[in-house]
Chain A
């Protein structure tokens, strides 16, 4: 029982992380019909911004040397600016092209950013230790919970709450939700296109930056492809949730996060190395049964 509770907490923490990335991907997809694979690299670059460029395996700290408040602020700012820049330079000029072009552009941006990291930091994985106090466990009702997991959950929940309030209660939030459901109709109703798209990318940057810090504190390591798996999982989360549905993206994030931790814990030992394959197989089965995703209400076919 205790083991199960422990696993559940792991699952919730990871689910929260995936929910955040999925929300970032879902928001941008909503307003642009773009599955932004560069989201992975927002996370990677946020993480690398903690250390100074060098080829050392244990590099000197850059933003990571700051007190945690300015550190968080600077990393979030850097990643947000990066996200806005990629939108402005790579995606906005292609907005009126087809989705395939946008998708290919996002791969290009992703490779460009990865190469940038390789150029500045070299290719080998690095060790970095920030927030060491957070790795020690906290005793809660007989459960030993690593501080970082607690932090991840709290931060993810807090961000989700802030985002929900933003989306529900503010003018821009309502316009963003409208635009993410039907961009053309939203424009006809006077929703400012450039602004809502920038906001969506800005939020995806803030979420990417947050995740990058949480990741580094949790794993203590840096790798050029560190953003890839969370982004791929989050992509599946948005697909499971029903692409275009924001609540669906969040729920999908929790589903894949919880699924992957539970499988890691309860699969037979011989099968565990193939956990990802099992998760993805389940994703495929879900999509075979509900290709439109779990939480999407069907739209009517329209005639302009």
Chain B
């Protein structure tokens, strides 16, 4: 990895409130291409809000999103996507009447590829994600875990510089989680992107992330390497709960 080619995505002093409730208050976050950053925290900590801010779905007030030195806070969601910040959603949101491959072709066309090139790229991504057998199936016929993988594949087809994954492992069984972890670990090299991973499954977080950022009640609690976070007393108390230190020893 060449350091000088690395792009950065930074969130600075992000505040978001919904009718008096502070979803985020003063959060800083920074991510470079090549990195996988985990974003964890209890329900309501502000994780999805953070992703919404970083992808233009939610304006920070105040706060700034800086992509490679440029302030992109005011861009709309489609423009953020074009600028290279891709995301997956908690619900897969596939085009259900299109085939799996067509779902990826749409993304390829969106970055200006010809239909042939977009289709070829789509096949390549599906092959890599072991989804190529389902390429011509209608998206509505997919199993839940395939659906989630296809939604990541489609986000990859936009060739983002940064990919934000919102709970990609939710509802997956252990084997599915493992193949997902393999895919996520491969993303920075294959797509040359940075990954922000929101996930409740600690095994996935600890297994793939270079660093982990912990949110609680809309504030940053800690950031560090997975093993540091795992043994951080503040995190254990606030995030995992009073009786969680026991649970945590199992992780």
Contact = CB atoms under 8 A, between A and B. Distances in A.
Interface stretch (A46-54, A175-183, A265-273): A175-183
A299 interface: yes
Nearest to B147: A300
Contacts of A177: 95, 97-98, 102
Nearest to A187: B78
A245 B97 contact: yes
B106 A189 contact: yes
A231 to B, nearest CB: 24
Contacts of B98: 174, 177-178, 181
A304 B102 CA distance: 23
Interface stretch (B1-9, B109-117, B207-215): B109-117
A297 B96 CA distance: 8
B15 interface: no
A207 B138 CA distance: 28
B91 A300 contact: yes
Contacts of B102: 174, 177-178
A247 B98 CA distance: 12
A304 B81 contact: no
Contacts, number: 79
Nearest to B107: A189
Contact of A171 (B92, B97, B115, B158): B115
Interface residues of B, number: 31
A142 interface: no
B220 interface: no
Contact of A181 (B78, B97, B110, B114): B97
Contacts of A101: none
Nearest to A193: B78
Given A177-B98, A297-B96, A186 B106 contact: yes
B95 A301 contact: no
A185, A189, A301, A304 interface centre (most CB from chain B within 10 Å): A189
Contact of A189 (B48, B57, B81, B91): B81
A119 B103 CA distance: 48
Given A177-B98, A299-B96, A304 B89 contact: yes
Interface of A: 170-171, 174-175, 177-178, 181-182, 184-191, 193, 245-247, 297, 299-304
19 contacts: A170-B115, A171-B114, A171-B115, A174-B106, A174-B109, A175-B106, A177-B97, A178-B102, A178-B103, A181-B98, A186-B106, A190-B78, A191-B110, A193-B78, A246-B97, A299-B96, A302-B89, A303-B48, A303-B89
Interface of B: 48, 52, 57, 77-78, 81-82, 89-93, 95-98, 102-103, 105-107, 109-112, 114-115, 118, 140, 154, 158
